[in-house]
Amino acid sequence: MHSPRDIPPVFKPHVVKCPTCGLDSIYAASNPYRPFCREACKLIDLGAWASESFSVPAPDADPLSEFDAPKD
Ligand SMILES: [Zn+2]
Closest CA to 19 of 51, 48, 42, 2: 42
Alpha carbon of 70 to ligand 1 centroid (Å): 53
Alpha carbon of 10 to ligand 1 centroid (Å): 25
Q: If pLDDT is split at 50, 70 and 90, which confidence band does 63 have?
A: low
Alpha carbon of 1 to ligand 1 centroid (Å): 36
Q: Dump pLDDT digits (tens) for 9-56.
A: 666 779 999 999 999 999 999 999 999 999 999 999 888 767 766 555
Q: If pLDDT is split at 50, 70 and 90, which confidence band does 61 have?
A: low
Is 26 inside a domain boundary? yes
Alpha carbon of 45 to ligand 1 centroid (Å): 9
Q: What's 40's domain CATH number? A: 3.30.50.10
11: three-class secondary structure by DSSP:
helix
> Looking at residue 36, what is its pLDDT?
95
Is 31 inside a domain boundary? yes
Q: Global pTM? A: 0.52
> Looking at residue 54, what is its pLDDT?
55
> What are the phi and psi torsion angles at 51 (to 5°)?
-70, -25
Alpha carbon of 34 to ligand 1 centroid (Å): 9
Segments forming the whole domain that contains residue 35: 9-48
